[in-house]
Homo-oligomer: A and B are copies of this chain.
Amino acid sequence: MTEIAPAEPRRAGRPRSEGADRAIIEATLDLLADYGIAGTTIEGVAARAGVGKTTIYRRWKGLESLICDAVAELKGPLPTLPGTSIRDDLLALVEAAARGRESARNRKVYACFIGEMARYPALDAQYRSAVIEPRRALTRSALERGVERGELRADLDLDVIAEIVTAPTLHWMLHNPDRNPTRQLLEQFLDGVLHGVGRS
């Protein structure tokens, strides 16, 4: 498992670094939005953030860690699930997935990221382990509780259920990089997949 690097600078606790860290992260996101992973370099980030390359390398192991961190920051921390019902938990999860898309820039970063990542195996592995896997594990634990409490069908593969409940929101966002999903839309997706779209 790959670890993301930037815990250290925070531990070092130099107030000046935090401003630089923020500028570096923002510059990375700006470049990702405009040029994708292919057009994002340490040199470019340094120039845009107004820092030296060594300042970046003091905080991040390399470009993969920096990009991974910048996108992870957009996502924010893992949501806390209310645990009151499977519907409440899943709504918290899809709302968290839709977070960080407030600006056009951030939506552009998301739109390109997943697909382009496939061409960068080291970044792909790091992002999956640091960002995607913890979210999958949280989703899975919510689904397991839902099955235990009899709220979800027990005859379906949990991976299949996980895909069905999260895909409409994630796919909609990918195809609508210029908009944010409303809470009402997220609920329509969720209720649609929980109750089924067919008449049985």
Contact = CB atoms under 8 A, between A and B. Distances in A.
Interface of A: 34-36, 38-39, 86, 108, 110-116, 118-119, 150-153, 156-157, 160-161, 163-168, 170-172, 174-175, 177, 185, 188-189, 192-200
B36 A198 contact: no
Work out how many copies of this chain go into the complex: 2
Taking chain A's interface residues, is the majority helix, strand, or loop, or is none over half, making it mixed? helix
A122 to B, nearest CB: 15
A108 B113 contact: no
A115 B198 CA distance: 31
B114 A119 contact: no
Given A36-B119, A116-B36, A188 B170 contact: no
Contact of A167 (B34, B113, B157, B170): B170
